[in-house]
A and B are shown apart, each in its own frame.
Chain A
Amino acid sequence: MQPLRIALAQIAPRLGDLEANLARHHELIAAARERGAGLVVFPELGLTGYQLQDLAADVAMGLDDPRLGGLARAARGLSAVVSFVEESADHRLFIAAALLEDGEVRHVHRKVHLPTYGLFDERRFFAPGDVVRAAPSRLGVGLGLAVCEDFWHVSVPQLLALDGAHLLVNVSSSPGRDLASSHEVGLGTAASWRTLMRTYAQLTTSFVVFCNRVGVDESLSFWGGSEVIGPTGAPVFGAPMFEEGLFTCDIELGDVRRERIALPLLRDERPELIAREWDRIVAGRAGLGEDAGP
């Protein structure tokens, strides 16, 4: 397999300014192409900014929006992952990540886990997605898209890998917090994410691509530090924290096969067992199972 060059667009979106962010996307897609990238990844809500609140409806796009189509056409010859507010036909708003290939929207992932605690208030403004599915890609391997908090639930990377993803792509707007010198790289959030990425890559024997934004929305500072982790759990590339830029690195997609042959964790997963136990737990929680709690 040819090496794949990944471009991480670690940008600082302008809050609520769809036109300015669109222009920036076009610019960086062109730059990624020039630098020989096969895949370019933008962060969560890179087209709109994160702390939208009531602006969410103003910047929402349907999947047939010509601006999205324009981006898809601009990305022809590449695989591009972009993120925006998606408005469905029945006017629900989702935080979406789309895979653009061959001039069209190839696959859309709607964020399934919307954090609504602490500094987050996403469920107030958005509807959660209901589907976690890997997508085939022109890269010749399955691609699994997830958005930020989706990766704080172990089931999401696991489902994506079992569904055929070799490359797990998480796009994020992770606000930096818990500043303490005792944390790796000085920031609690960054330390947690770094642990998660390595763990998921190793347990799913997949590449993990993490693209996190930088810049400031209101009180929140986003820390960047985008990464690519190999299927052994070893980091392949790390972008600097807090710095805006287009960062590229090369990966060998063949590493996935090598690792899965050497360490057949996915082969040995027991999805039927998990499904059975989950069915029991779900029924129990609904008060239906034999183990129904008080």
Chain B
Amino acid sequence: MSAVGAGQGGPAGGPLFELPEELAIDTGVARRVIAEFVRGQLRQAGFERAVLGLSGGIDSALVAFLVAEAIGPERLLCVMMPYRTSSPESRGDAESVVAALGCASELVEITAMVDGYFGAEGAPGAGGPDALEASALRRGNFMARMRMATLYDRSVTWRGLVVGTGNKTESLIGYTTLFGDSACAFNPIGDLYKSQVRQLAAAMGVPEAVIRKAPSADLWPGQTDEAEAGFSYPVLDRLLFWRIDRRRSVDETVAMGFDRALVERVDRMVAGAEFKRQVPPIAKLGPRTAGVDYLYPRRRPGSARS
């Protein structure tokens, strides 16, 4: 494993992030491919603009930078959608991204939408009295879906496609909300591991505070992905890379030095999240069925919005 060069070290002294050697990408090529991808997706759909949810975290910050590079910041709308418990720091980080890019931004508080369902201060909402006691998981998923609903509404007013901001690591282990944060028209970073997101973010000049801070779903104060899941991203990324991209068996990854319990646990997470990565199955009844034997590109002549 190797860290990025000292030249990228921040004021805190250490390197900005840890980059496993086998995951290092050519960031110039990645930027080139992704810029073309973003432009191609918009052109084929007949759109010129894009909209995304900016959380203050590294994933959405990187996507904002990539989209701005591909189509110009004036065609990008970043929507910040905090809940009342969201960290003010996240908001500040999101604003620093908007300032760095000079793109359009908007603040949509989702508090009323979420509390309208779960209730607040003892008064039940649309979800009934039981919803007052809803778990953090239910609340987190609901928030993600309110943000999705907001983005798809803004997609109409801004006349832009919704850009996905989920990375490969969280998609593989299923650390996403179905029809929530994973919902999008296209995703430029869904095939990049978290470590690669960090490498690309550093190369593109995403504010250092955003790269340096611990990844978090920001559902409660002090929450971090790594504490919640019990592993570090560089280790998880390497394990997923060897298991999935390089097709190493469980025994082979254990022989490489990975903890067997971790390997088996991650395997279960990946298998358990298969459904989140696919279009729901349709019961096959007619002669031609979408996704089964009716197979067309998502965009083809005639499908662009006119």
Of A29-37, A99-107, A153-161, A177-185, the stretch lying at the interface with chain B is A177-185
* Min CB–CB distance A213 → chain B (angstroms): 12
Q: Tell which of A181, A216, A241 touches B40, judged by Cβ atoms closer than 8 Å.
A: A216
Interface centre among B28, B33, B40, B296 (most CB of A within 10 A): B33
8 Å CB contact of A179 from B26, B36, B39? B26
Could you tell me if A242 and B299 are in contact, using CB atoms closer than 8 angstroms?
no
One of B24, B297, B299 near A182 (C-beta < 8 A): B24
CA–CA, A294 to B301, complex, Å? 52
Q: How close is B38's CB to chain A, nearest CB, in angstroms? A: 9
- Closest A residue to B35 by beta carbon equals A242
Q: Give the chain A neighbours of B294 by CB distance below 8 A.
A: 54
Interface residues on B, range: 20 to 34
Bound complex: CA of A126 vs CA of B22, how far in Å? 37
Chain B residue contacts of A241, Cβ below 8 A: 29, 32
Rounded to whole Å, the gap between the CB of A57 and the closest CB of chain B is 12
B298 contacts A by Cβ under 8 Å: yes
Asked if A179 and B296 make an inter-chain contact with CB atoms under 8 angstroms apart, the answer reads no
Chain B residues positioned under 8 Å from A14 (CB to CB)? 301
Within 8 A of A (CB), among B22-62: 22-26, 28-30, 32-33, 36-37, 39-41, 44
Who on chain B is nearest to A52 by CB?
B297
Nearest CB of chain A from residue B302's CB, rounded to whole Å: 9
Q: Which of A1-25 contact B (CB under 8 A)?
A: 14-17
Q: Are B30 and A179 in contact (CB under 8 A)?
A: yes
**A15, B300: Cβ atoms closer than 8 Å:** yes
CB interface residues, B 256-303, toward A, < 8 Å = 294-301
The answer to whether B296 and A54 have CB atoms under 8 Å apart is yes
- A180 touching B300, Cβ below 8 Å: no
Question: Would B26 and A221 count as touching, CB distance under 8 A?
Answer: no
Question: Of A181, A183, A218, which is within 8 A of B297 by CB?
Answer: A218
When distances are taken between beta carbons in the complex, the residues of chain B under 8 Å from A55 are 296-297, 300
Shortest CB distance B204–A (Å): 15
Which of A16, A179, A183, A186 is B300 in contact with, Cβ under 8 Å?
Answer: A16
- Across the interface, which residues of B come within 8 angstroms of A142, CB to CB? none
Chain B residues with CB under 8 Å of A176's CB are 29, 33
Evaluate contact between B36 and A221: CB separation under 8 angstroms: yes
Residue total for A at the interface (Cβ-Cβ under 8 A): 27
- A216 and B32 contact, CB distance less than 8 A: no
- In the docked arrangement, what's the CA distance between A216 and B186, Å? 13
Q: Are A179 and B297 in contact (CB under 8 A)?
A: no
Q: Are B301 and A186 in contact (CB under 8 A)?
A: no
A46 CB–B CB distance under 8 Å: no
Chain A residues near B297 (CB, 8 Å)?
15-16, 51-53, 55, 217-218
Q: Which residue of B lies closest to A19 (CB)?
A: B301
- Asked if A215 CB lies within 8 Å of chain B CBs, one says yes
Would you call A180 and B301 a contact (CB within 8 A)?
no
- Asked if B28 and A186 sit within 8 Å, CB to CB, the answer is yes
Please indicate which of the listed interface residues A180, A187, A217 has the most CB atoms of chain B within 10 Å of its own CB. Answer: A180
Is the beta-carbon distance between B29 and A186 smaller than 8 angstroms?
A: yes
0 or 1 for each of A78-116: is its CB under 8 Å from B? (1 = yes): 000000000000000000000000000000000000000
Closest Cβ neighbor of B32 among chain A residues = A242
Cα(A195)–Cα(B26), bound, Å: 19
Within residues 159 to 198 of chain B, which ones have a CB less than 8 A from any CB in chain A? none
Question: Roughly how many angstroms separate A241 CA and B26 CA in the complex, as a whole number?
Answer: 14
Cβ of A186 and Cβ of B40 under 8 Å apart? Answer: no
Contact flag A187-B295 (CB < 8 Å), given A17-B301, A221-B37:
no
Contact B26 A180 (CB under 8 A): yes
Nearest-Cβ distance from residue A157 to partner chain B, whole angstroms: 28
A187 touches B44 (CB 8 A): no
Closest to B302 in A: A16
Decide yes or no: A181 and B33 within 8 Å by CB, A15-B299, A16-B301 being known contacts: no
A54→B292 CA distance, assembly (Å) = 11
- List, in ascending order, chain A residues with CB within 8 A of B41's CB: 216
Of A15, A185, A242, which contacts B33 at CB under 8 A? A242
**CB-defined contacts of A186 to chain B, threshold 8 Å:** 25-26, 28-30
Question: Given the complex of chains A and B, what is the CA–CA distance between A17 and B303 in angstroms?
Answer: 11
Closest residue of chain B to A14 (Cβ to Cβ) is B301
Instruction: List B residues 237-254 near A (Cβ within 8 Å).
Output: none
Which chain B residue lies CB-closest to A216?
A: B40
Which 4 residue pairs of A and B lie closest in terms of their CB atoms, listed nearest first? Answer: A186-B26, A216-B40, A186-B29, A53-B295
Taking Cβ atoms with an 8 Å cutoff, the residues of A that contact B are 14-17, 51-55, 176, 179-183, 185-187, 214-218, 221, 223, 241-242
Could you name 27 residue pairs across A and B whose Cβ atoms are closer than 8 Å? A15-B299, A15-B300, A16-B300, A17-B301, A53-B295, A53-B297, A54-B296, A55-B296, A176-B29, A179-B29, A180-B22, A180-B26, A181-B26, A182-B24, A185-B26, A186-B25, A186-B26, A186-B28, A186-B30, A187-B26, A214-B36, A216-B37, A216-B44, A221-B40, A223-B33, A241-B29, A242-B33
Given contact pairs A180-B24, A186-B28, A242-B36, enumerate 9 new A-B contacts (beta carbons under 8 Å): A16-B300, A16-B301, A17-B301, A179-B29, A179-B30, A180-B25, A182-B24, A216-B40, A242-B32
